[in-house]
Amino acid sequence: MRLTLYIWRQNNAYDKGRMEKHQVNDVLEDMSFLEMLDVLNEKLILEGKEPVAFDHDCREGICGACSLTINGIPHGHEKATTTCQLHMRKFKDGDSIYIEPFRAKAFPVIKDLIVDRTAFDRIMQAGGFISINTGNAPEANGLPVSKKNADLSMDAAACIGCGACVAACPNGAAMLFVSAKVSQFALLPQGQPERKKRVLAMVNQMEKEGFGACTNFYECEAACPKQISVRFIAMMNRDYLCSRVTEPVEV
């Protein structure tokens, strides 16, 4: 098939950026979206032009690196699918496709389609862990966990940290990401001792990073390639309020 691509090009964080038009022919149905861009990039290099920079690594939908906004939707229109897992059979011959980076205040563009998502890492550093040193652990089966809670915890833990939730949110909020981590631990007995401290620290850091507030648009859940549920946001809000009341705030 033949496609017309409109791709965001931006030299660096300070550059204003612009859309650039490219024509690609010989696109096959079996190609993934990124393989289609590979083909374009090979062509660009051979023409002496700079290839389009985009983040990617596993190409299996698990590392969370790929991060394209395709026709206005983070990861494109296919439900529960990362950009790297989106295949060209979902497009039609003659289609025009608009390709932009994940846009959010807290995710500045580094180059072309690559954005800086280290804000997520800093939220994790603020509290996204259970404080246990190597070697301290008790026997694994010493603490049973109901299957229901373990499964729910796993549902939350499935988050790949791609940031589609932020890019999809009109406010640029990171609530789905943060609540997934908070809930994963809140659902396990191991997570209890630091439960309150954790939610306060992570939410506090989230605010510092310039993510917006949640006003219940639920665009995040719709864009999430792992279908993380907004129920976790409700869960976190409960935890947060309760902790605000009972825990002294450390900032």
Q: Which of residues 77-106 bind ligand FES (CB under 6 A)?
A: 82-84
Q: Which of residues 178-217 bind ligand FES (CB under 6 A)?
A: none
Output 44-48 pairs: Cβ under 8 A, ≥24 positions apart: none
Q: What's the CA gap between 99 and 66, in Å, rounded?
A: 12
Q: Report what 117 binds from other proteins, ligand FES, none; CB cut-off 5-8 Å by kind.
A: other proteins
Let me know: does 39 contact 26? Beta carbons within 8 Å. Answer: yes
What is the greatest pairwise CA distance in the chain? 63
- Determine if 228 is a binding residue for ligand FES (CB under 6 A): no
Is 31 one of the binding residues for ligand FES (CB under 6 A)? no
Q: Which of residues 104-143 bind ligand FES (CB under 6 A)?
A: none
- Is 190 a binding residue for other proteins by CB under 8 A? The answer is yes
46-85 residues near other proteins, rule: CB under 8 A: 46, 48-51, 53, 55-65, 80-81, 85
Name the burial class of residue 213, with classes exposed (0-12), middle (13-18) and buried (19+) by CB atoms within 10 angstroms of its CB.
exposed
* Strand, coil or helix: 34: helix
* Residue 227 makes contact with ligand FES by CB under 6 A: no
**Residue 101 half-sphere exposure, CB side, CA atoms within 13 Å?**
27
Nearest to ligand FES of 64, 212 (CB atom): 64
Q: Which does 184 bind (CB under 5 to 8 A by kind): other proteins, ligand FES, none?
A: other proteins
Parallel, antiparallel or unpaired: strands 3-9 and 96-101: parallel
- CB of 216 vs other proteins, minimal distance in Å: 27
Residue 31: exposed, middle, or buried by beta-carbon count in 10 A (0-12, 13-18, 19+)?
Answer: middle
Q: Which is nearer to ligand FES, 34 or 106 (CB)?
A: 34
Tell me: does residue 164 bind other proteins (CB under 8 A). Answer: no
101 binds other proteins (CB under 8 A): no
Cα separation, 187 vs 79, whole angstroms: 27
Nearer to other proteins, 63 or 171 (CB): 63
The C-alpha atoms of residue 181 and residue 99 are separated, in whole angstroms, by 29
Give which of other proteins, ligand FES, none residue 66 binds (C-beta under 5 to 8 Å, depending on kind): ligand FES
Q: Could you say whether residue 62 binds ligand FES (CB under 6 A)? A: yes
Q: Given the rule CB under 6 A, which residues bind ligand FES?
A: 56-59, 61-66, 82-84
